[in-house]
Amino acid sequence: MYRFNKYSWIVALVYIAIIVTIECHSYLVPWQGLYLTSPIIFIFILWSERITPILKKDERAINKTESFNRDLFLINFSFILEELLSFPVQYNNPDAGWWPLVFWFITLFGFLFAFAFSLIALMIDSHKRYTFIFSILIILLIPPLSFLAYAMPFPIFANHYFFYVVTGSLLGLHLTLALGYRIIRCRE
């Protein structure tokens, strides 16, 4: 029997839990979100299974292309997971039926963010742990900030541009750290 890797299991289980939670309380077409968003999850699981050998590979034996693909996958994984975890607190999206469209858009945005992150990360030599930490930072930072848009009365959190400010700041921090690393390596 074939065993899925941990990334496939995490995304599949979180997706099933979120889809059941959202669709059971929706007054729209039953399970419409499942039909519209499941292709993304299936593609991601196929990608996850295909990239498993690169994820298991030792950092010293990995080339730049494999490093780029690994970073692209891990950061994209964090965006998909953070978006799924953000949906339960965004109570307007399930009832309005907009959440599948938002999921597609954030997945595309996450892919573009991951692509930029992976290009910048090519400046850093051994950075598997750094990418894991950055992925966890995205997963732990963005869902609470999206919850603050509903819980806090401050207009800065409720602004829809706040998400782009946070992700742009994360990408700017990553660029600064990568350039700093490159400058230090050049001086040695």
**Residue for token digits 């009365």?**
153
pLDDT score of 154: 60
Confidence of residue 11 (pLDDT cuts 50, 70, 90): very high
Q: What is the pTM of this model?
A: 0.86
Confidence of residue 70 (pLDDT cuts 50, 70, 90): very high
| Mean pLDDT for the stretch of residues 136-165 | 72
For residue range 75-125, what is the model confidence (pLDDT) as tens digits? Answer: 999 999 988 888 776 655 555 567 788 889 889 999 999 999 999 999 988
Confidence of residue 40 (pLDDT cuts 50, 70, 90): very high
**Residue for token digits 């970073």?**
71
Burial of 32 (0-12, 13-18, 19+ CB in 10 A): middle
- State how far the Cα of 59 lies from the Cα of 67, in Å rounded to an integer: 9
pLDDT score of 151: 65
| Mean pLDDT for the stretch of residues 50-75 | 90
Per-residue pLDDT for 130 more than 60?
yes
Backbone angles phi, psi at 46, to 5 degrees: -60, -45
Residue type, 104: W
Which DSSP helix (H) or strand (E) runs through 129? helix 128-151
Distances 102 to 18, 20, 37 between C-alpha atoms, Å: 14, 17, 10
pLDDT score of 1: 47
